[in-house]
């Protein structure tokens, strides 16, 4: 397992599951072509790119290229790195039929192929000293009063407003974003500040 600084942008949830087996970082999905209309998700990706940079890792087919080019045009060049997977004929085991292009997507790649793609793209590999960064988990959202409690919705909206984020982010999306741009200690401080101002 390698740990990298940049967040990775992939097309779908199965890509995320595959990547989580070999790399430790924030991994976000475009939801395929939904990214073209989802302004809030694009805004979130831009903020993450500004804070830590992103690596775009899409399938090597035509659809993956269209999504990659859209993101390439939507995010400043100096905040984006591009990782490419090879064109390997085949189909993922969970699918009945091969893709239109007849090639494997990100989810069908081996861990070694994915690691090499990220390293070749210039991913910033973090050393052991960086691993002490405290990331938030769902239990922290509860402890902070951001989910599952009376007044959680108002507190979450106040946090989202302070961070200039869409007001209706799900808990999972909020967690991904917070871990991408901040750490546990900083978020606790922001929550204290919100509580003191209400």
Model-level pTM greater than 0.85?
no
Question: At 132, is the pLDDT very low, low, confident or very high (cuts 50, 70, 90)?
Answer: very low
Helices 184-196 and 152-162 cross at an angle (nearest 10°) of 110
pLDDT of residue 101: 72
Instruction: Find the mean pLDDT for residues 129-150.
Output: 75
Mean pLDDT taken over the chain: 85
Q: Taking Cα atoms as reference points, which of 54, 8, 10, 49 lies closest to residue 32?
A: 10
Instruction: Find the mean pLDDT for residues 156-180.
Output: 75
- 4, 55 in Cβ contact below 8 A? yes
Better-scored residue on pLDDT, 42 or 100: 42
Cα separation of 73 and 41, whole Å?
Answer: 15
Cα separation of 198 and 183, whole Å?
Answer: 23
Q: What percent of the chain has pLDDT over 70?
A: 91
Extract the tokens encoding 189: 């401080």
Question: At 166, is the pLDDT very low, low, confident or very high (cuts 50, 70, 90)?
Answer: low
Instruction: Find the mean pLDDT for residues 11-31.
Output: 92
Contacts of 44 (CB under 8 A, 6+ apart): 28, 165, 166, 169, 173, 177
Question: At 198, is the pLDDT very low, low, confident or very high (cuts 50, 70, 90)?
Answer: low
CB atoms within 10 A of CB 158: 18
Instruction: Find the mean pLDDT for residues 123-138.
Output: 68
Which position has the token pair 């741009």? 181
């Amino acid at each position: 397992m390698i740990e990298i600084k940049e967040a990775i942008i992939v097309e779908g949830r199965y890509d995320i599951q595959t990547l989580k087996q070999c790399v430790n970082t924030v991994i976000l999905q475009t939801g395929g072509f939904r990214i073209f209309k989802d302004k809030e998700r694009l805004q979130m990706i831009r903020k993450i790119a500004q804070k830590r940079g992103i690596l775009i890792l899409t399938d090597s087919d035509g659809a993956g290229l269209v999504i990659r080019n859209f993101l390439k045009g939507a995010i400043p060049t100096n905040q984006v790195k591009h990782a490419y997977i090879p064109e390997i004929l085949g189909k993922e085991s969970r699918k009945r039929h091969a893709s239109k292009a007849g090639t494997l997507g990100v989810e069908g790649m081996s861990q070694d192929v994915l690691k090499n793609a990220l390293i070749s793209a210039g991913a910033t590999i973090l050393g052991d000293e960086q691993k002490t960064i405290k990331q938030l988990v769902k239990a922290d959202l509860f402890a902070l009063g951001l989910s599952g409690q009376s007044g959680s919705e108002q507190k979450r909206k106040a946090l989202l407003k302070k961070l200039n984020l869409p007001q209706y982010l799900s808990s999972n999306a909020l967690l991904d974003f917070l871990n991408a741009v901040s750490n546990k200690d900083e978020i606790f401080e922001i929550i204290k500040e919100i509580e003191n101002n209400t």
